[in-house]
Structure 1
Amino acid sequence: MLISFFCTKEFAYINLHAEQSFRSAEFLNLNDINREEYKNNKHNILKKSELGIYCNVLKVDVIKEIEDNIEYIAASSLQNKFPTIILDFNEITLIQPNMENKLQLIFNKILERKIEIIILNANKKLNTFINESIKGIQSLDTTDYKGESVYFLSYDKVSKTKLENFEAENCIISELFNKVFIDELKKCCDENTESLDSSPIYTSVYINIKKCIETISFFPYVVYKLAKLIISDKLFIDKIEKNEEIKLFCHTLNGSYIASLLSKLLYMDVTFFDHIGPRNKIIRSFFNRNIKSNTSYIVVVDVICLGSELRAVNTLIDFLGAKSIGAISIVNCKTVKNLKDKIKRYSIIELEKTYNPLEYYISTDLELERGKKYE
C-alpha cells in the first residue's frame, strides 16, 4: 500500500520520504548501542540510525511497493484523468545501491500507461543515480528549481509550456495536498444537531475523524505531515538537543491511533488514558503511576474545538510535576484572535473566521443578536 498516494485531475503525487519513513520504523536494537550513550544522547543516535522520520536513504522496499502498485496508479489515472504523476524525493539524499535498473523499469512501466512523470526535489547527490536510471528514455528534459533538479519524463514529447510554467505549476503542487485533503475531509463531516459532550455548545457539523481513518487511504501521510511540523519546531528541537524526555499523551481512541503512528515515526513513548472529560472520574493514584515528573508531554487529539478537554489534560499533567508543551490535532479551531492558552498547537487544518472550508460553526442558545458583532 502506498500511504502517500493521492491525486486530482491534474496530478497524482507520491512522497518517497514518507513511504520510506513508515517502512524504516523498526525497533531500535539497543543491544548494539551503548545504553548510557543512548540515554544521554538519544536524539543524535536516532538521527544516525536513519529510522522512522530520520531516514534519508530510499531502499528497495519502497521501490518494489511502487512497482507493485503501478496498475493501481494506472486505474486511478483512468478514473481521475490525471496526466502526470509527481515523485517527490524531498529529504531523500541517497538511494540504495544497484537500484538503477529497478527504478528505470518503474519509469518505463508508468510511461507505457501514458502517464508523464515529474521527479521533484532531487538533490545533487541523486543526480548521478537518476541520470543512470533514465537512460534510454528519449522524451525527457531537466530544469533547476530553487537549486535542485527537476526531471520531466514523457511518453511522447516534453511540453515547452510545462517547462516554462514550472514555477506556476509548483505553486499548485504546494497546495495540492490541502485541496485533496479538504475535499476528503468534507466527505467525513456529518450533520450535527446535538450539543457536544465536552462543552455545552452546538456545532454545525461533526468532523468524523474515525471515518477519515477508515476511508482516506493517505491518512498515514497526514500524520507524517504532523510529525514533520513537530520536528521542525524550535521548541521541540531545543528540548531534544538538551536530551530532555518528551512523550506523547492521548486520551481518546482516535487520538491513540494518531499517537501510535507518530510514535512509530518519531520514536517517542505514548501514555494513554481512557477518556478524560466531564463524564469521567479521575483516580489520582492511577495518574501518579503513569505521569512521570520532569517529563514533557505533547497531547494528541483528533479535533480541537474550544479546547476544554485539552485544558483539563494540561492542568492534570502540570499538577503531577510534568509539563505539557504542545497539542497535536488534525483540525484546530481558532475561536478567538488572541488565545491566552500558551500551549503550542500543531495541526493540518486550522479553521478561523477568514478560512472555514468545512463550514464549521459554533453556537449556543444565547446567540448574538443579528447584525451585532464583537469587534
Structure 2
Amino acid sequence: MIVSQIKDANYLYFSLHAEEVFTSNYIKDNDEGIFVGSLQYETICRLLTHLQKEQDPEIKYIILDFRHIVHIQNNILEKIIEIRRLDYKLIFKNIIADLIKALSLEAIDNPKNILNGNNGYDICYFFHGELDEIYEVELNANSIFKNYFKKLLKDNYIQTYDKKHASSFVYLHSFIDLKKLISLERPFIYFALYKLAVKIYSKWSDKINSGPILVGQSLTSTFIVSVLSKLLKLDILIFDKIGPINKLYNKLEKHNFENKKYIIVSDLVCLGTEVKITKNLIEFSGGKYLGNVSLVKIETLTREDLNLDNIDRTIAIFSVSESNNKDLGYYIYTNLKPLDE
C-alpha cells in the first residue's frame, strides 16, 4: 500500500519519507515513528511494484520528495532507474548534499538543476533537456498537498447543511464530513496524519522528549489520536462527548494531570468550543495545556487578529479561510440581520 500518492494532470507525487515511515511502523513494525531518516530498499521496491501495477499513459512525470531523508540504502538507485524505465521522467525534491553522490546526480546535465545554499537541490530534474513543459509547473510540495486536499473536500465531503452548529450558537451553511473522509480515504488519510505529526513535532520539538500527552475529545478523533500516538511515540488520553450539551464520560479522578503536558487533537476545529472546554478541564485538573491540532481548521479571524504565537491557534494541515471558503461552499452565519438591511 502506498500512502502518499497525489495525482495531478500529468504527474504523480510521492513523499519518500512518508512511505518510509509507513514501512517502518505498519509493515515492519519497527515502532520508530516519524523519527526515521534512512530510505530503505524495501520502501523503494514497494513504490516500484505499485507503479508497475498502476501504470497510467497520461502520467509523464514522477516526483519523488526526499524531504527528511538523510541517507539511502545501497542499491536504491538501481530501483529508481527501473522506475524511470517505466517511461517516466523523474523529478527529485529536497535533496541534501549527502545524497547527491548516492543518486549520481552529478551525471545529470540539466541547466535547471541549481544547487541551493546548502549545496543540495530544492528541485532536481533527473533527465536532460532545456525545454520541457514541466519546467513551467509550480511543484511546491505543500501546494500540491493542499490543492489535492481541497479538491477532495470540495468534490466529496462538503454538503449543504443549513442547521445550527452542534456546540456553538451559530448556523452552518455546509458541513464538512471528516468522519466519512477518514473512513473512505485510506490510505491517503495516513499521509495526512503523517503531515500533521511532522507539524506537531516541528511546533513542539523541544517538548516531545518530555512526553506530552495527546488528548482526543471524541470517539471520532480516536483514530486520529491513535495514529499520531504511534508516529510521535506519545501516550494518549480520550475524553468522549466534550461539548456544552453533552456528558463527559471519563472520570477525571482516574487520571493524574499534575505536572503533565497536553496537546488537544481534533478532526475539525470550527469555533473552538470543545477545545476550550477540554483546555479548561486540563488546567483545572493541574495539567499544562500546550496547544491544539486538527486535520482541518476554520479560520474565522484574520492572521493578524490571531497571532501566530497565540497558544490557542490551531495547528492544522488544511485551513478553510476567506481565501477559499467561497470556492468550497463553506459559510458560518447567525440569525442577526446585516446593518444595511
TM-score by length of 1: 0.78
State the match for 1:206 in structure 2: 175
Q: How does 1:49-68 map to 2 (within 5 A)?
A: 51-68=32-49
State whether structure 2 residue 88 is matched by structure 1 residue 122: no
State the structure with more CA Rg: 1
Higher share in helix: 1
State whether structure 2 residue 120 is matched by structure 1 residue 148: yes
- Opposite residue 117 of structure 1, the aligned amino acid is L
C-alpha contact 1:22 1:264 (8 A) present in aligned 2: no
- Opposite residue 114 of structure 1, the aligned amino acid is D
State the match for 1:250 in structure 2: 216
State the match for 1:33 in structure 2: none
Q: How does 1:302-317 map to 2 (within 5 A)?
A: 302-317=267-282
| Alignment partner of 2:150 out of 173, 179, 182 | 182
Aligned length: 328
Counterpart Cα distance in 2 of 1:15 and 1:333: 26
- Opposite residue 68 of structure 1, the aligned amino acid is T
C-alpha contact 1:246 1:297 (8 A) present in aligned 2: yes
C-alpha contact 2:214 2:236 (8 A) present in aligned 1: yes
State the match for 2:163 in structure 1: 194
SS of the residue corresponding to residue 234 of structure 2 reads coil
C-alpha contact 2:240 2:248 (8 A) present in aligned 1: no
State whether structure 2 residue 62 is matched by structure 1 residue 85: yes
State whether structure 2 residue 72 is matched by structure 1 residue 95: yes
C-alpha contact 1:20 1:62 (8 A) present in aligned 2: yes
State the match for 2:3 in structure 1: 3
| Alignment partner of 1:279 out of 245, 254, 257 | 245
Residue 290 to residue 325, structure 1, CA distance change in 2 (3 Å) = same
Residue 60 to residue 349, structure 1, CA distance change in 2 (3 Å) = same
The C-alpha deviation readout for 1:163-191, integer Å capped at 9, x for no partner, is: 9x85x645555421111110011121121
C-alpha contact 1:330 1:348 (8 A) present in aligned 2: yes
Residue 222 to residue 317, structure 1, CA distance change in 2 (3 Å) = same
- Opposite residue 227 of structure 2, the aligned amino acid is L
C-alpha contact 2:66 2:95 (8 A) present in aligned 1: yes
Runs of 4+ aligned residues of structure 1 deviating over 4 Å after TM superposition are 139-142, 170-174
Counterpart Cα distance in 2 of 1:250 and 1:295: 16
Shift of 1:195: 1.6
Shift of 1:315: 0.6
State the match for 2:285 in structure 1: 320
Residue 174 to residue 329, structure 1, CA distance change in 2 (3 Å) = closer
The C-alpha deviation readout for 1:335-356, integer Å capped at 9, x for no partner, is: 2343497424101122233442
Shift of 1:291: 4.8
- Opposite residue 270 of structure 2, the aligned amino acid is C
Cα RMSD after superposing both structures = 2.9
Runs of at least 5 residues in structure 1 that lack an aligned partner in the other structure: 30-48
- Opposite residue 272 of structure 1, the aligned amino acid is I
C-alpha contact 1:291 1:317 (8 A) present in aligned 2: no
C-alpha contact 1:224 1:262 (8 A) present in aligned 2: yes
The C-alpha deviation readout for 1:310-353, integer Å capped at 9, x for no partner, is: 11111111110002211111111122343497424101122233
Counterpart Cα distance in 1 of 2:9 and 2:172: 32
Shift of 1:152: 3.0
C-alpha contact 1:50 1:56 (8 A) present in aligned 2: no
| Alignment partner of 1:351 out of 303, 308, 320 | 320
Residue 328 to residue 197, structure 1, CA distance change in 2 (3 Å) = same
Shift of 1:307: 0.9
Shift of 1:72: 4.2
Counterpart Cα distance in 2 of 1:300 and 1:172: 27
Counterpart Cα distance in 1 of 2:81 and 2:54: 12
TM-score by length of 2: 0.86
State whether structure 2 residue 330 is matched by structure 1 residue 360: yes
Bigger drift between 198-207 and 170-179 goes to 170-179
Counterpart Cα distance in 2 of 1:262 and 1:208: 20
Counterpart Cα distance in 1 of 2:49 and 2:214: 34
Q: How does 1:208-227 map to 2 (within 5 A)?
A: 208-216=177-185, 217-227=187-197
Residue 10 to residue 291, structure 1, CA distance change in 2 (3 Å) = farther
Counterpart Cα distance in 2 of 1:303 and 1:290: 25
